[in-house]
Structure 1
Amino acid sequence: MTKKRHLRRREAIIQHIDSSIFKAYDIRGTYPEQINEDVVYRIARAYAQKLKPSVTVVGRDMRVSGPSLLETIRRGVMDEGSDVIDIDMTTTSMYYYAVNAFNAAAGIVVTASHNPEQYNGLKLTGTGAAPSVDFVNNDELHKIADEGHFMQSTRVGKLENASEPIDSYMKAVRDTSGIKDFGGLKLVIDAGNGMEGIVLPKLLQNADCDVTPLFWEPDGRFPNHEANPLKEETLAGLKQKLSEIGANLGVAYDGDGDRVGFVDEKGQHIPGDIVTAILAKRMLQDKPGALIIYDVRSSWAVREEIENAGGRPLMWKCRHDLIKKKMHETGAYFAGELSCHYYFANFHVTDNGDLVLLNMIQIMLSEGKTLSELAKPIMRYFHSPEINF
């Protein structure tokens, strides 16, 4: 094979790709030192080369480097022959939905989740929005991208600029949750200047509840605080506002909207595993006797609560790719992690913070209890917090 048959010759590549940016199930690094336009172009091409998708959904979060990275990702995927549907700004949960809604064989979203502003990254998925590591391991993906030996494709893919699929996503989320009533609850919701700021106004439009928004303007510089609901210090403003107005519930999303944390009416942060137990009981009302997965870091009370509600508990390894794979293998109906990721089999086996919020509201209303009253009997053992940020 001659060098002329390569679209990109080795000598034209300006840097090796740092292998440390390839994490267990996604790609993250500092911009532009580790993640830049050349790097993501090669990763996008390498991924399209392995999966050979006919259609790839792409999008981005609100980070400053997002638009230029997304443009080169589109070009990389199209140069490999795949058509591209660009949904532009999106939460990760809405991106998962779009991959399924458009029946795409692959997806790439530009996001570094809750990481500080100097970071950016990629979350890659295959059919059904399953994690990329189900299709190609990161060592192999790194090798192909780093070598950069890409042959000229027989065709260049076409680009479709789809409007953000937010309206159909809203309907799907609300229909899946079954919510009809918000009960006039008083809510304080902190989006942390992350992507939930584009979702929440429509998710809660015309809802019979009183919402106080905190930092709903998407801003990848995170001017107010890190968008990470696991860190107590990021919840300070939420707790203060909750106390000031006497709200029923405090809610905090991470940067890309797939994780959500809760603060009760007394200002206490409710750990993710306790939320898993609360949600599991509602899921078991929908599907009695279902298998429910919880991660190994969870309180013993989670297993006990699932059993008491008639469910079949399964403790499994933490990490979203491992949990999703186990859900597919076992037919589990719901799963939750201490890290505030919650997974729904009835929503494409994906994690979705919006579904969690709507379900929590319904639980509080149907039980006629505050979040502290729901959580207190479950918090009966010593609890170790999530420390792997």
Structure 2
Amino acid sequence: MTHQFDPSSLREYDIRGIVGQTLHDADAYAIGRGFATRVRATGGSRVAVGYDGRLSSPGLARALVEGLNAGGVDAIEVGLGPTPMLYYAEMVEDADGGIQITGSHNPANYNGFKMVLGHRPFFGEDIQDLGRMAASGAWCDAPAGYVAANKQRAIMDAYVDRLLEGLGAKGKAWRIGWDAGNGAAGPIVDRLVKRLPGEHFTLYTDVDGAFPNHHPDPTDEANLADLKALVAENTLDFGLAFDGDGDRIGAIDGTGRVIWGDQLLAIFAEMVLKDVPGATIIADVKASQALFDRVAELGGKPVMWKTGHSLIKQKMLETGAPLAGEMSGHVFFKHDYYGFDDALYAAIQLIRAADVLGHSVTELRGAMPAMVNTPELRFQVDDARKFAVVDEVLERLAADGADIDRTDGARVNTPDGWWLLRASNTQDVLVARAEANDEAGLDRLLAQIDAQLALSGMERGQAAGH
């Protein structure tokens, strides 16, 4: 038996596609067979399986478990919940790996699979290996006499208990707004707010895979409109929002200002560096220079790294960093936690930061330097062309003697500030961002991006924001 995946579904960090078009139950079964083969090769026999609130998720979960069992691996089924709850299960349930069925922040007709093996990220060549195994049918079969011993585990309450441990001593009774966006974080939010000090107002905590209120991507400011209104109408201290599978956080302060991913990381870094002086703090190449400068000012060692949750986790393992984050709202706490990206734990840590640092979230946000920058600018380009465009830009910049950081694409430092151009690993888009000292400088940086794109036969066009 062999299977061919749609090539577009095998991404750098996960497997993802449009249900019924590029992703089917047969793909889920094949993922189960391939992952079981990899688990068995490590001497393992148990995989935690969870899924988000998308309408297609339960069916894909059933097909995945069938594939795991056909390969001689038992499933620990934790059911509906956010991706970090699945990661937690993989850590504490004596599992050899974990798979979450989730479309993350993609539109409702998408779905996909995020994987961990032996508490480590499963990405890049690992995912391509699943494709090769499927194409050749090089899967292991269940041993003779194997009978599946799948177990259903209700782990949500234990996960909530673990999240609340991160608050430490009960602090000030803050008044907080929460927007779960009808995503898988909703049931966790409902449980948390009953047990947290303070007063809490919630939006859209019922799980609905059609996302009837707004798209669950808190890095797009338009999706924070209802949360901003909630905070303003009730004079709340701050607001928290989550993506569809609960591994990316969004936040606003009491005045409605967005606290972007790199700004949240600056707050978390100050708190963590109090406990771990001189520690390495990792952020992705899209982060503000103000963050790297702030980490250094606090006595930490700032490290700029490639965008992508799996790549960041791998770098944390290499460096021993207690904290990392991305502009996209993925935040990774290894200090007093497990090192995976968990937006719900990050939410608890923002509450704790206001207690530990002795300032309200609005004061913490207000103390940050005013930077003139763009949101993340994304524009479509053919998948086969996107990396080539970045290579062409790098070649021209090098010839011109530009100050370039090549960590992930081209991050170019100039007297005005910096600009970035990189190819997305998950979509057929190029990503750009620029940050300057003033508006005139920002205009000059954007003109440099446009000039480089034009030399490669492209234009920035109408770019979507965060």
The structure with higher relative contact order (CA 8 Å, sep 6+) is 1
- Structure 1: distance between partners of 2:71 and 2:249: 36
- Structure 1: distance between partners of 2:127 and 2:192: 35
Identity %: 33
Is it true that 1:110 corresponds to 2:101 in the alignment?
Answer: yes
Q: 1:30 aligns with which of 2, 6, 18?
A: 18
**Number of aligned pairs?**
374
- Structure 2: distance between partners of 1:157 and 1:58: 18
- Pairwise CA distance, 1:110: 0.6
Task: State the secondary structure of the residue aligned to 2:373.
Answer: coil
Aligned residue type for 1:98: A
- Pairwise CA distance, 1:158: 2.4
Partner of 1:242: 231
Partner of 2:388: none
Is it true that 1:384 corresponds to 2:374 in the alignment?
Answer: yes
Is it true that 1:72 corresponds to 2:63 in the alignment?
Answer: yes
1:160-180 alpha-carbon deviations (Å, 9 max, x no partner): 3333212221222222x2433
Partner of 1:357: 347
1:180-203 alpha-carbon deviations (Å, 9 max, x no partner): 325221111000000111111222
Is it true that 1:95 corresponds to 2:83 in the alignment?
Answer: no
1:320-367 alpha-carbon deviations (Å, 9 max, x no partner): 111111111111110011111111113222111122111111222344
Task: State the secondary structure of the residue aligned to 1:355.
Answer: helix
Against the structure 1 CA distance between its residues 371 and 339, is the aligned structure 2 distance closer, same or farther, given a 3 Å change threshold? same
- Structure 2: distance between partners of 1:133 and 1:35: 18
Paired residues for 1:45-194 under 5 Å: 45-52=33-40, 53-128=44-119, 130-133=120-123, 136-148=125-137, 150=139, 152-155=141-144, 156=146, 158-175=148-165, 177-194=166-183
CA RMSD of aligned residues (A): 1.8
Task: State the secondary structure of the residue aligned to 2:371.
Answer: coil
Aligned residue type for 1:363: A
- Pairwise CA distance, 1:150: 4.2
- Structure 2: distance between partners of 1:353 and 1:182: 20
Contact 1:250 1:262 in 2 (8 A): yes
Contact 2:6 2:22 in 1 (8 A): yes
Against the structure 1 CA distance between its residues 378 and 206, is the aligned structure 2 distance closer, same or farther, given a 3 Å change threshold? same
Task: State the secondary structure of the residue aligned to 1:332.
Answer: coil
Task: State the secondary structure of the residue aligned to 2:281.
Answer: strand
- Structure 2: distance between partners of 1:211 and 1:51: 42
Partner of 2:338: 348
1:69-123 alpha-carbon deviations (Å, 9 max, x no partner): 1111111001101121111112111110100101311111110111111011101
Aligned residue type for 2:103: A
Task: State the secondary structure of the residue aligned to 2:99.
Answer: strand
1:113-172 alpha-carbon deviations (Å, 9 max, x no partner): 1111101110111011x22127x5322211222344545432445233333212221222
Task: State the secondary structure of the residue aligned to 2:233.
Answer: helix
Task: State the secondary structure of the residue aligned to 2:31.
Answer: helix
Partner of 1:298: 287
Contact 2:241 2:249 in 1 (8 A): yes
1:270-319 alpha-carbon deviations (Å, 9 max, x no partner): 11101111110001112122111111111111112112222111111111
Partner of 1:21: 9
- Pairwise CA distance, 1:372: 2.9
Q: Structure 2 regions of 5+ residues with no counterpart?
A: 379-465
1:220-254 alpha-carbon deviations (Å, 9 max, x no partner): 11011110001111111111111111111111100
Partner of 1:44: 32
Partner of 1:272: 261
Is it true that 1:310 corresponds to 2:299 in the alignment?
Answer: yes
Contact 2:69 2:142 in 1 (8 A): no
- Structure 2: distance between partners of 1:313 and 1:63: 37
Contact 2:280 2:323 in 1 (8 A): yes
TM-score under structure 2 length normalisation: 0.77
- Structure 2: distance between partners of 1:81 and 1:344: 34
- Structure 1: distance between partners of 2:192 and 2:68: 32
Against the structure 1 CA distance between its residues 379 and 22, is the aligned structure 2 distance closer, same or farther, given a 3 Å change threshold? farther
Aligned residue type for 1:91: P
- Pairwise CA distance, 1:258: 0.7
TM-score under structure 1 length normalisation: 0.91
Of 51-60 and 248-257, deviating more is 51-60
